[in-house]
Amino acid sequence: MDAHDEALLAELPKKVGKRMRKALVALEACTVPDEPSIAVDAYAGLKIEQSPGKARDSDALFAKAFSAAKYPEFDEVLPVAAKLDPVHEQLARLVAHRTGIALHEWAIPQTAWARRRWLGIDPPGVLDREVEYTRKEKVRRAPLWRALAKLGDEAGEKLFAALPAMDRLEALVDLALEAYRVEAPSWDDWEKVRIDEPARLSALADRVTALYAEGAPSSERDGHSTLPWPIGWLLFLSLVRAGVPIEERWDWMLPIGPLTAECVAAIAEPRQGQAIVNALKAEFPSRALASGLELAKQFPSQVLADHLMELADGAVHSLACPARRGYLADLAAAVGPELGAHVQKRLAALPPLPALRTKRSLYARSVDELTAGQRLQLAVLGQGWETDAGPMVTVAEDGAEPVFGPIEFVSAFEIVDAEGAPAYEALLYMDEDGAVCEAGTTRSVMYVSQENLSWNVPDDVAEALHGLLQVAPKPRKKAAPKKAAAKKPTAKKAPPKKAPVRKTAKKPARTQRTV
């Protein structure tokens, strides 16, 4: 602590000052890094885009100091700094230059840079500038962040939309990082963005890059590990369309989606492949494989081809991913003759798969349509599967035979070997959960959970099964209702008028899993 801190502490009430001093001392002594407590890929099938910071001993001490000062709590709109209670202002100034402090319980900006702007220590940003707005038939003036908070969704959206595009982008970055605890307005037409302010765009890109740099305190972006939607698109597209040369330090912001090719084309050719690879690493494997293949057609490179081959090796772990060998063949065709030969060499080196094929697959409507082995499987799996009528399978406590109810969304597979002999049977619920068993038994060889696969058979068998389960059964026509037998009328009456039947469009059912 310096002399300025000591002067601020001296002005606090004794109890508050004592607690605040303990908190500041503990923060200075802390060795816990200011980083998210949960890594982006900590859980399979999830991307943790925002996480609280790692817990520190100082967290509870700051909470005691703010509580002792009766500082406004988080559920209140942030006060204007000029109207703060003197004690509350001193507390805010003591944390204005410090990062890694858990302040989510209190009505105070969540990042140090926002606290400094709020207090007037640093120059104001767009959100800190006063705007005029009308609320409850009264014209008012307040900082933009407070006007948005007071107006709410609809009126706040209109106020935000009226701002110049560059101001909207700068404000949206700050709001998306939750610095002022105000929900970020939408920007629905982001794909049409055009902002002709190269200097401000470059400065904003550098500022965002600094916030996300390796080792930068995560508390300065409120625990976000990735750029909140649609910041990456708005910023990168704006740079490209304003003719700003894309600096290497900005490559990390490359977004993946329908306009990625436009962004990649603006990156110097020697960096394109690595920039695409880095962007794909932030995506789920299924999306990375699909997007990567399309980009490889337009921007083929060794580094991209190698990355996609590595991703394809892990495709067998998810039904959301394509079959490895088919994907590699598509990749070889996409990247041109020279790189294609490189991919074909990898494909040729793979061991042959066992000769398994699907003899029959269907979306079952009744237990009677299942084989004896599949009924055994359903007796177990169906206890956790439900329809609107309840569980598909009910088992009595006395050990009686299971009772099968109506079944829906269950796909059944009969898989045979090269000689046509039954090898495996599978049941899937909603195309994403279930099991594969040895034919006629409940001896499981593969489990499917939210499209993720695990197995206890050789990897080549697992890969073959993955490829077969990829192909969903053909959709079935809805069964026509049975017509009631005609009855003779007892008296002649005019037939009642019927309302015209309203036709509804139906989406075609998919027969191949999408990536």
Radius of gyration of the chain (CA): 31
Q: Alpha-carbon distance 358 to 155, whole Å?
A: 57
CB count in 10 Å sphere of residue 438: 15
Tokens of 9: 């502490």
Determine which helix (DSSP H) or strand (DSSP E) holds 428, and give its type and residue range: strand 422-429
Q: What is residue 372's predicted lDDT score, i.e. its pLDDT? A: 95
CA distance 434 to 437: 10
Helix runs in 101-249, H state only? 112-119, 144-151, 153-161, 165-176, 198-211, 231-241
Instruction: Give the number of other Cβ atoms within 10 Å of residue 401's Cβ.
Output: 8
Cα(289)–Cα(321) distance, integer angstroms: 8
pLDDT at 244: 97
Q: What is the pLDDT along the chain (515 residues), one digit of tens a residue?
A: 789 989 999 999 999 999 999 999 999 999 888 888 888 888 877 788 888 888 888 999 999 999 999 999 988 788 999 999 999 999 999 999 999 999 999 999 999 999 999 999 999 999 999 999 998 889 999 999 999 999 988 899 999 999 999 999 999 999 998 888 888 888 988 999 999 999 999 999 999 999 999 999 999 998 999 999 999 999 999 999 999 999 999 999 999 999 999 999 999 999 999 999 999 999 999 999 999 999 999 999 999 999 999 999 999 999 999 999 999 999 999 999 999 999 999 999 999 999 999 999 999 989 999 999 999 999 999 988 988 888 899 887 776 788 898 899 999 999 999 999 999 999 999 999 999 999 999 999 999 999 999 999 999 999 999 999 999 999 877 655 555 555 444 443 444 434 333 333 333 333 333 33
- Position 52 scores a pLDDT of 85
334 CB-side CA count, 13 A: 24
Q: Which residue is associated with the tokens 């703010």?
A: 66
* Neighbouring-strand partners of residue 318: 452
pLDDT at 480: 57
Question: What number of other Cβ atoms are within 10 A of residue 203's Cβ?
Answer: 12
Answer yes or no: are the C-beta atoms of 332 and 467 closer than 8 Å: no
Contacts of 52 (CB under 8 A, 6+ apart): 36, 37, 102, 104, 223
* pLDDT at residue 509, as a whole number: 38
Eight-class DSSP state of 267: S
DSSP string, 75-119: TSPPPPGGGS-HHHHHHHHHTTT--S---TTBSS-SSHHHHHHHH
- Give Cβ neighbours of residue 487 (< 8 Å, ≥ 6 apart): none
Which pLDDT score is estimated for 478? Answer: 66
CA gap 96, 113 in Å, rounded: 7
Only one residue has tokens 């499209």, namely: 451
At 53 the pLDDT is 87
Amino acid letter, 329: A
Residue listed under structure tokens 């319980």:
105
Encoded tokens for 65: 């100091």
| pLDDT recorded at residue 494 | 40
Q: Find the Cα–Cα–Cα–Cα dihedral 457, 463, 467, 473, rounded to 10°.
A: 20
Please tell me the distance from the alpha carbon of residue 257 to that of residue 280, in angstroms, as a whole number. Answer: 10
